[in-house]
A and B are shown apart, each in its own frame.
Chain A
Amino acid sequence: MARFGMVIDTKKCVGCMDCVVACKTENDVPDGHCRDWISQRLQGEMPDLRLTITSERCNHCDSPPCVTCCPTGASHVQDFGKVVLVDHDKCIGCKACLAACPYGARFIHPDGYADKCTFCMHRVERGQAPACVDVCPTRCMHFGDLDDPESEVSRLIATRRHFVLKPDAGTRPRIFYLE
């Protein structure tokens, strides 16, 4: 059974926000909201500066706090790809999942339910990559099955130095950043 994840090369990412725009158009994300975003971490003092740019979204964690806190089971882990999804018709809009996510990856859709990145499951089911991965002009994003040792993402994680966001929050995120 697949376990989808992403590998993003921070050495290639320039923070152009193509992924953000692609997500917005592909998933019809309402104006003023975003399912993915760019973060920039600037370290040091002029002229010795280091900039790390990360394209961030829901980490589809292996232990997702948003799923355990959900009172109705609307937030769930889908069998296919172990992707964390929200069933809009079960969500009551209690916002516990927004508070439980250390990444701030969720928001309330103007229609009232909790919304977030789906890893573009509607595209993945057709054999396509998520929209953000497909449009990236620097090809810094990779999507695939972390449980398959032969997959591109598994090989990148095995061979390159990498980090995840907020590892000590204990969520075991599945988006890996190459450094």
Chain B
Amino acid sequence: MIELLTTRHNPLVDPTLHVWEWQIPVYLFLGGWVAGSMVLTGYLQRQARAPGQSSVSDRLPWIGLVLISLGMGALFLDLEHKLYVWRMYLTLQPLSPMSWGGWILLLVYPVLALGALAMLADGALDRWPRLGAFARQLQSHTATRWLSVANIVVGIALGIYTGILLSSLGARPLWASAVLGPLFLVSGLSAGAAFAHVIAPGHEEQEQLLRFDNLFLMTELGLIALFLIGLLTVGAVHAQAAQLLLGGPFTAVFWVLVVGLGILLPLAIQSLMVAGRIPHTIVAPLLVLLGGLALRFVIVYAGQYSEWISP
């Protein structure tokens, strides 16, 4: 038996670390969602389509702009020294994923904005003829190809960085897993696909996005398994951190909200939808979005709770 007593009593740090509130998981969720949307946008832009046929990839850039702005707003709310935020953009710290993330976010905006501009209907920019001409140039085949590549690259970077951001903070054993990068990316892809499926204009595209989403959800299950196996096998400190999800204070919310309602149930519903057994419903996509949000909350909160226990 070891009794540990400390006279330290710093807010946010004692008795357990609690530096990040709802802002960070909300940002990580919205960032992942936008990342998934961008990758899907890039993919769909490369698909051949009949003249005049609309695609959900025409709508996603606009929505992405709104979502990423909300996410960055949440991030800003979290900062304790807000007036100094511009300091992020005077430097690139090569070892800091957060610094990379700041710059990636700066790339997200122009890519989304160009995509949004390209999709404006003819005539919408009549009052600004130069902008209208530029938008028409963006609609060209070459510009679309480049834009789709940019969407995919920046989207993957955005999705992975949100996970690596946490895993680089090695003092929190629950986060000490590089699987968090791909896990957050795939979770973002599934959120993006679920949402795109709801607002997709064509039935064919809806079916395609549903099949994608099921694939993403299954991949996510596999990555969650890998994440837990990795923690359990790497050492005592990390195994104890994994216990937070396998028999600790975060177990119920993790298995019920994230795995059960967020992955398994929508996976079942969407499989039936793909098989044509039940009509399309927005229940499953909503569950996927809620599950993605819950995943970020659980990982961020449980991770802060986990600590190095050795003396």
Interface residues of A (CB under 8 A from B): 17, 20, 32-34, 37-45, 56, 65, 68-74, 89-96, 98-102, 104, 106-108, 111-113, 165-170
Give CA–CA (A94, B98) in the complex, Å.
9
20 of the cross-chain contacts (CB-CB < 8 Å) are: A33-B11, A34-B9, A40-B4, A41-B2, A70-B93, A71-B88, A89-B84, A91-B84, A93-B84, A94-B98, A95-B19, A98-B19, A107-B10, A107-B11, A107-B12, A108-B11, A111-B81, A165-B311, A166-B308, A168-B308
Smallest CB-CB A-B distances: 5 pairs: A93-B80, A93-B81, A37-B8, A112-B81, A102-B171
A residues in contact with B304, CB < 8 Å = 99
Contact of B208 with A by CB under 8 A? no
Which chain B residues in 153-169 approach chain A with CB under 8 Å? 165, 168-169
Give CA–CA (A165, B309) in the complex, Å.
11
A99–B20 contact, CB under 8 A?
A: yes
Which chain B residues in 1-49 approach chain A with CB under 8 Å? 1-14, 17, 19-20
- B89's nearest neighbour on chain A, judged by CB, is A72
A residues in contact with B84, CB < 8 Å = 72, 89-93, 112-113
Supposing A41-B4, A73-B93 touch, asked if A104 and B19 sit within 8 A by C-beta, the answer is no
- In the complex, how many residues of chain B place their beta carbon closer than 8 angstroms to a beta carbon of chain A? 49
Which chain B residues in 78-105 approach chain A with CB under 8 Å? 78-82, 84-85, 87-88, 90-91, 93, 95-99, 101-102
Give CA–CA (A90, B93) in the complex, Å.
13
Contact of B222 with A by CB under 8 A? no
Give CA–CA (A94, B293) in the complex, Å.
21
A residues in contact with B310, CB < 8 Å = 166-169
- A113's nearest neighbour on chain B, judged by CB, is B81
Supposing A91-B81, A106-B13, A107-B10 touch, asked if A39 and B87 sit within 8 A by C-beta, the answer is no
B98–A104 contact, CB under 8 A?
A: no
- A42's nearest neighbour on chain B, judged by CB, is B3
A92–B88 contact, CB under 8 A?
A: yes
Supposing A41-B2, A90-B84, A93-B80 touch, asked if A100 and B17 sit within 8 A by C-beta, the answer is no
- B235's nearest neighbour on chain A, judged by CB, is A168
- B95's nearest neighbour on chain A, judged by CB, is A68
- A15's nearest neighbour on chain B, judged by CB, is B7
Query: Closest CB of chain B to A30's CB: distance in Å?
Result: 10
Give CA–CA (A168, B170) in the complex, Å.
11
